[in-house]
Amino acid sequence: METVCQEYVKKRDWEDDPPEFHVIGNLPFNVSIPLLLQWLAMIPGRRGPFSFGRSILTLTFQREVAERIVAPPGHTQRSRLSVMTQNLCHVHWGFTIPGSVFTPAPKVDAVVLKLVPRLRPLVKVDHLTLERVVKALFTFRRKFIKRGASLLFPTDPHLLPLLFSLSGVPHTLRAQELTMEQVDQLSSTYLHLLDKHSSQYAISS
């Protein structure tokens, strides 16, 4: 696809406006999240549709999934998906599509979201590091983040207090309460601790 599109679509620098290449998809609900995560993983390396620049994604999701994607800090729907998507994209709620317009009609409504890649991610660490940190923090979403963060240091628990003292993020917050700035502080501190104290936590794909 990329080779064919190169003949018709002019590439743009990342700092420029989005290119004419535009991804539009009425996604099957059962694969919408895996597809979105695959596209997000392509953004940092500017691969796939993002090799042309900050290509816009206009996609349909089950309403519940769409609410998770756009959920702000403190919202009950805030999740790993919220953080990973908002870190890389400006997310705009388009409109709701009632399930009754589909045949056969699903029991849920759909929502169209517009995702525009950011010039720069909100979190400074690499994508895999952020993914690991966010996964740990949201594993025990009803508990304080100290519980989930402990999964980041399975053999060196003494590093856990350092994560919070150096980042300045209170360990008594819950994952859904974290702002993107606090996620950035935790992720950057985590990476610093890995570099300083041990190589055994090296992140592999």
Residue-range definition of the domain harbouring residue 193: 127-197
- Which residue type, as a one-letter code, is found at position 16? D
Residue at a domain's end among 90, 117, 144:
117
- The answer as to whether 56 is a domain residue is yes
Ligand-binding annotation for 87, yes or no, is no
Contact status, residue 170 vs residue 132, Cβ threshold 8 Å:
no
Residue at a domain's end among 97, 117, 137:
117
106 with 8, same domain: the answer is yes
Query: What CATH number should be reported for the domain holding residue 179?
Result: 1.10.8.100
Alpha helices in the chain (DSSP H): 2-6, 32-42, 63-70, 80-88, 127-137, 145-149, 159-167, 180-197
83 with 32, same domain: the answer is yes
* C-beta contacts of 9-14 below 8 A and 24+ residues apart: 9/52, 10/52, 11/51, 11/52, 11/53, 12/52, 12/53, 12/54, 13/53, 14/46, 14/53, 14/54, 14/119
86 with 104, same domain: the answer is yes
- The answer as to whether 74 is a domain residue is yes
- The answer as to whether 90 is a domain residue is yes
Beta bridge partners of 117: 89
113 with 139, same domain: the answer is no
- The answer as to whether 138 is a domain residue is yes
Number of domains in the chain: 2
Q: Which position has the token pair 């940092």?
A: 44
Q: For the chain, what is the mean pLDDT?
A: 91
- The answer as to whether 203 is a domain residue is no
- The answer as to whether 45 is a domain residue is yes
- pLDDT over 50 (residue 105): yes
pLDDT (tens digit, 9 = 90+) per residue, 129-159?
Answer: 999 999 999 999 899 999 999 999 998 899 9
Contact status, residue 39 vs residue 49, Cβ threshold 8 Å:
yes
155 with 180, same domain: the answer is yes
Which position has the higher pLDDT, 5 or 26?
26
140 with 59, same domain: the answer is no
Beta bridge partners of 57: 23, 115
pLDDT (tens digit, 9 = 90+) per residue, 8-21?
Answer: 778 999 999 999 99
Residue at a domain's end among 117, 139, 174:
117
- pLDDT over 50 (residue 4): no
Beta bridge partners of 174: 144
110 with 139, same domain: the answer is no
Contact status, residue 23 vs residue 58, Cβ threshold 8 Å:
yes
Ligand-binding annotation for 1, yes or no, is yes
83 with 138, same domain: the answer is no
- The answer as to whether 204 is a domain residue is no
- The answer as to whether 193 is a domain residue is yes
Query: In angstroms, rounded to a whole number, what is the distance separating the alpha carbons of residues 143 and 151?
Result: 13
- Which residue type, as a one-letter code, is found at position 170? P
Contact status, residue 76 vs residue 24, Cβ threshold 8 Å:
no
